[in-house]
């Protein structure tokens, strides 16, 4: 493992944070390195070491060989939201939104929902944490309930994760008003508005936040970091990660808890056994929404998965893209098409994918509106095969239509799923 740690100044939503240290400074694990100028989060050192370089985007630290467990504590003694802000906590499920802002919501007796859905295939670090250490998440829900004036807490989790469900059930105390909502194994059940619909029975508009249904949703790792911040005054210095793919150690997902933020992708792949020969690409994130990355890229507070894939298969015929709001976006589909040597001749969006606040949002995540019309349009525009990023239900619908038109279907997750011998995203079982 190399000793260089790279901490990006922009770790989530908001602008880059502003460094308050300089090259040559000695730092400890937990030393405050940078503060946000507006929306954003405090950035702390994840290791003991010396600041090697500061650029516009990044603070590089040469880590010491000796890394004690002790850390520099945050100094704040204010409200729970203040402590969470000081600790630099943002949504660690991938969203990266500052958690203190969510906790400042007055839910007026509403509900905190812990997102343990871990919807992306192959990622397993959230479920491992729920299984092995449910207490820390449970206490995080209680702290969040107190901060946001909520009367109820709910863990949303897929029913298939029976061991994690039982583990969490075992720590529930009746007077705390915390329960479990078990969800189906479909993509994108982990999307916030899908969770609100499934758990609270309310379909929010694309521009509405869960608070419109009296809820705040926080990822389970985020909740565990809230517990650490409140009880130990610990800032965010590490991240839980899944590494999977074309590895010498086999095809099973490997999970790593508390990896220092800023660790390189190559170090994590080495920790997981190393890449097995030639590969197609390295993905940061999950198969549906991850992006291709490089071996020297660092993990951030929002990183979840690192995937080494097999080489790409070649596309047959001219490609039509069908873009989903919850899966790979058009840019990512075009990138995959290029890697498959595919010639893109037309692009359509699922009709439920609408623009909202500068991004695509699904009007009813995971409930297919029917894709026949879009497929016919793509065919008319010259597409001979389809590259899609649709949810489980919509992919099922595509598979009811495209084969009858003799149009081969590729899904944005195919090269990942083939790498580990996982069933492809196609027809619902
Ligand atoms: S309904 Fe359409 S936009 Fe919504 S999740 Fe499914 S494919 Fe994506």
In CATH, what number is assigned to the domain containing residue 287? 3.10.20.600
Q: Which residues pair with 254 in a beta bridge?
A: 243
Question: What is the value of pTM for the model shown?
Answer: 0.97
Question: Which residue range forms the structural domain that includes residue 277?
Answer: 238-308
- Distance, CA of 428 to CA of 426 (rounded, Å): 7
> What's the CATH code of the domain at 19?
2.40.50.100
188 close to ligand 1 (CB < 6 Angstrom):
yes
Query: Which CATH number goes with the domain that contains 137?
Result: 3.40.50.11540
Token pair in block for residue 299: 């993990």
**141 within a domain of the structure (yes/no):** yes
Encoded tokens for 39: 């929306």
Gap from CA of 366 to ligand 1 centroid (Å): 5
- Angle (CA) 413-416-422 rounded to 5° is 95
Q: Which atom of ligand 1 is nearest to the CA of 363?
A: 4
Contact 84, 124 (CB under 8 A): no
Q: Quote the tokens at residue 221.
A: 């790792």
CB of 214 closer than 6 A to ligand 1?
Answer: no
pLDDT by residue, tens only, the chain of 429 residues: 469 999 999 999 999 999 999 999 999 999 999 999 999 999 999 999 999 999 999 999 999 999 999 999 998 789 999 999 999 999 999 889 999 999 999 999 999 999 999 999 999 999 999 999 999 999 999 999 999 999 999 999 999 999 999 999 999 999 999 999 999 999 999 999 999 999 999 999 999 999 999 999 999 999 999 999 999 999 999 999 999 999 999 999 999 999 999 999 999 999 999 999 999 999 999 999 999 999 999 999 999 999 999 999 999 999 999 999 999 999 999 999 999 999 999 999 999 999 988 889 999 999 999 999 999 999 999 999 999 999 999 999 999 999 999 999 999 999 999 999 999 999 998
Domain tally, the chain: 4
Answer yes or no: is the C-beta of 325 below 6 A from any ligand 1 atom. Answer: yes
Does ligand 1 come within 6 angstroms of the Cβ of 362? yes
Are 221 and 283 in the same domain? no
Residues 86 and 227 in one domain: yes
Angle, alpha carbons 282-283-284 (nearest 5°): 125
End-to-end CA distance of the chain: give it in Å, rounded: 42
Extract the tokens encoding 420.
């580990």
Tell me, using a 6 A CB cutoff, whether residue 307 lines ligand 1: no
Ligand 1 pocket member 324 (CB < 6 A)? yes
Please state whether beta strands 319-323 and 385-388 pair in parallel, antiparallel, or not at all (unpaired): parallel
- 12 and 143 inside one domain: no
What is the DSSP pairing of strand 49-54 with strand 26-27?
antiparallel
For ligand 1, pick from 391, 400, 401 the residue to mutate: most ligand atoms within 8 Å of CB. 391
């Amino acid at each position: 493992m190399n000793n260089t740690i790279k901490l990006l100044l922009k770790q989530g939503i908001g602008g880059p944070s502003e460094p308050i240290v300089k090259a040559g400074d000695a730092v400890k694990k937990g030393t405050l390195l940078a503060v946000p100028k507006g929306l954003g989060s405090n950035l702390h050192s994840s290791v003991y070491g010396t600041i090697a370089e500061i650029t516009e985007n990044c603070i590089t630290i040469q880590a010491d060989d000796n890394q004690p467990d002790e850390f520099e504590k945050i100094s704040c003694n204010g409200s729970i939201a203040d402590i969470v802000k000081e600790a630099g906590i943002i949504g660690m499920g991938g969203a990266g939104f500052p958690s203190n802002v969510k906790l400042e919501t007055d839910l007026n007796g509403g509900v905190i929902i812990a997102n343990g859905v871990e919807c992306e295939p192959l990622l397993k670090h959230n479920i491992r944490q729920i299984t092995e250490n449910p207490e820390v998440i449970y206490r995080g829900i209680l702290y969040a309930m107190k901060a946001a004036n909520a009367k109820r807490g709910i863990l949303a989790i897929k029913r298939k994760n029976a061991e994690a469900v039982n583990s969490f059930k075992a720590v529930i105390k009746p007077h705390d008003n915390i329960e479990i909502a078990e969800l189906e194994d479909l993509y994108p059940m982990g999307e916030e508005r899908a969770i609100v619909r499934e758990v609270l029975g309310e379909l929010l508009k694309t521009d509405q936040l869960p608070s419109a249904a009296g809820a705040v949703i926080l990822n389970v790792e985020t909740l565990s970091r809230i517990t650490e911040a409140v009880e130990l005054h610990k800032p965010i210095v590490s991240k839980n990660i899944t590494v999977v793919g074309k590895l010498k150690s086999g095809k099973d997902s490997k999970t790593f808890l508390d990896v220092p933020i800023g660790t390189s992708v190559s170090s994590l792949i080495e920790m997981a056994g190393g890449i097995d020969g030639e590969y197609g690409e390295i993905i940061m994130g999950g198969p549906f929404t991850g992006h291709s990355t490089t071996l020297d890229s660092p993990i951030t507070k929002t990183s979840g998965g690192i995937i080494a894939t097999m080489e790409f298969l070649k596309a047959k015929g001219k490609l039509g893209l069908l873009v989903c709001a919850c899966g790979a976006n058009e840019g990512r589909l075009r990138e995959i098409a290029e890697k498959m040597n595919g010639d893109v001749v037309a692009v359509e969006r699922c009709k439920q994918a609408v623009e909202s606040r500068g991004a695509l949002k699904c009007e009813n995540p995971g409930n297919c509106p029917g894709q026949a019309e879009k497929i016919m349009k793509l065919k008319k525009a010259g597409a001979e095969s389809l590259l899609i990023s649709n949810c489980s239900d919509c992919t099922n619908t595509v598979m009811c239509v495209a084969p009858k038109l003799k149009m081969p279907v590729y899904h944005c997750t195919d090269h990942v799923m083939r790498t580990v011998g996982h069933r492809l995203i196609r027809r619902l079982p």
